[in-house]
Amino acid sequence: DAKTTQPTSMDCAEGRAANLPCNHSTISGNEYVYWYRQIHSQGPQYIIHGLKNNETNEMASLIITEDRKSSTLILPHATLRDTAVYYCIVRVANSNSGYALNFGKGTSLLVTP
Amino acid sequence: EPEVTQTPSHQVTQMGQEVILRCVPISNHLYFYWYRQILGQKVEFLVSFYNNEISEKSEIFDDQFSVERPDGSNFTLKIRSTKLEDSAMYFCASSRQGIYGYTFGSGTRLTVV
């Protein structure tokens, strides 16, 4: 699996957009980018994933650069409940097999009032 | 929204005892997983399970661990002879297909004394 690099921590003011970067310069053509988060002591929560196109769902947007070497998770209007550790994970995935997720250290996002 | 249910939420056991952690995955999901998180450390993959057999396992998942889907709805993790270092939060997860994100349960905190 490609290695990812994320900042250790970030702050964001409530109501503003939180932009969380991730570098994955060794990503290969069949590897997806996944984002999960873990709110203190809870189970990880899936946010979004993408292969090469930008993606958006009700939680967030995922912007992947054209060369796929980095991506940004955007929480458009951060709330206090978005305070969590955010994990960027790169992994091969296909319809016919499960996959192990390698949770690194992630980015600890603190949303402040 | 469908949930992955884990029981019990907290289990205390004596060293050397067998424990079984139980999970009810989402009903139409086909892939099942166990992860663990030692306090203050990262989430670690243990095992994935598909079509009634293990599809992938980590080095942590040694002969002391086993998984089973006994009745088509429950998914269990058994630790045969617990050690102090098995104390951790254990998370069950499931997914519909390999590409999609996982849904994690809220975890079982295992304390070995």
Average model confidence (pLDDT) across chain A: 93
Distances (CA, A) of B89 to A54, A92, B40: 34, 26, 11
Of residues A45, A95, A96, nearest to B104 (C-beta): A45
Question: What percent of chain B is predicted at pLDDT more than 70?
Answer: 100
Give the angle A66-A68-A73 at the CA atoms, nearest 5°: 95
SS3 assignment, position A38: strand
Q: What is the pLDDT of residues A10-60, one digit of tens each?
A: 999 999 999 999 999 999 988 999 999 999 889 999 999 999 999 999 999
Q: Which of A80-84, A98-102, B46-50 has the lowest mean pLDDT?
A: A98-102
| Residue B48 half-sphere exposure toward CB, CA atoms < 13 A | 19
Q: Would you say B26 and B4 are in contact if contact means Cβ atoms under 8 Å apart?
A: yes
The answer to whether the Cβ–Cβ distance between B98 and A99 falls below 8 Å is: yes
A63: contact with B, CB 8 A cutoff: no
**A34 contacts in B (CB within 8 Å)?**
101
d(CA A75, CA B97): 26
Distances (CA, A) of B26 to A15, B60, B79, B103: 33, 25, 23, 8
A98: contact with B, CB 8 A cutoff: yes
Residue A61 has pLDDT above 90, yes or no: yes
pLDDT for A96:
65
Q: Would you say B111 and B86 are in contact if contact means Cβ atoms under 8 Å apart?
A: no
Interface of B with A (CB under 8 A): 4, 31-33, 35, 42-45, 48-50, 55-56, 58, 89, 91, 93, 95, 97-107
Q: What are phi and psi of B94, to 5 degrees?
A: -145, 160
The answer to whether the Cβ–Cβ distance between A43 and B105 falls below 8 Å is: yes
Question: What percent of chain B is predicted at pLDDT more than 90?
Answer: 83
pLDDT for A95:
61
- Identify from A6, A101, A105, A107 which residue to disrupt to test chain B contact, counting B C-beta atoms within 10 A and taking the largest count: A101
Residue B101 has pLDDT above 70, yes or no: yes
Residue A113 has pLDDT above 80, yes or no: yes
Q: Which of A87-96, A102-111, B53-62 has the lowest mean pLDDT?
A: A87-96
**B97 contacts in A (CB within 8 Å)?**
95-96
d(CA A56, CA A47): 10
d(CA A85, CA A109): 6
pLDDT for B72:
80
Distance from CA of A49 to the nearest CA of B (A): 7
Which pLDDT band holds residue B78 (cuts at 50, 70, 90)?
A: very high
Average pLDDT over residues A67-80: 97
Question: What are the DSSP E strand ranges found in A1-113?
Answer: 9-13, 18-23, 31-38, 45-50, 55-56, 61-64, 70-75, 84-92, 107-112
Whether a cis peptide bond, with omega within 30° of 0, leads into B8 is yes
Average model confidence (pLDDT) across chain B: 94
d(CA A78, CA A20): 12
Of residues B89, B91, B103, nearest to A46 (C-beta): B103
Number of A–B residue contacts, CB under 8 Å: 72
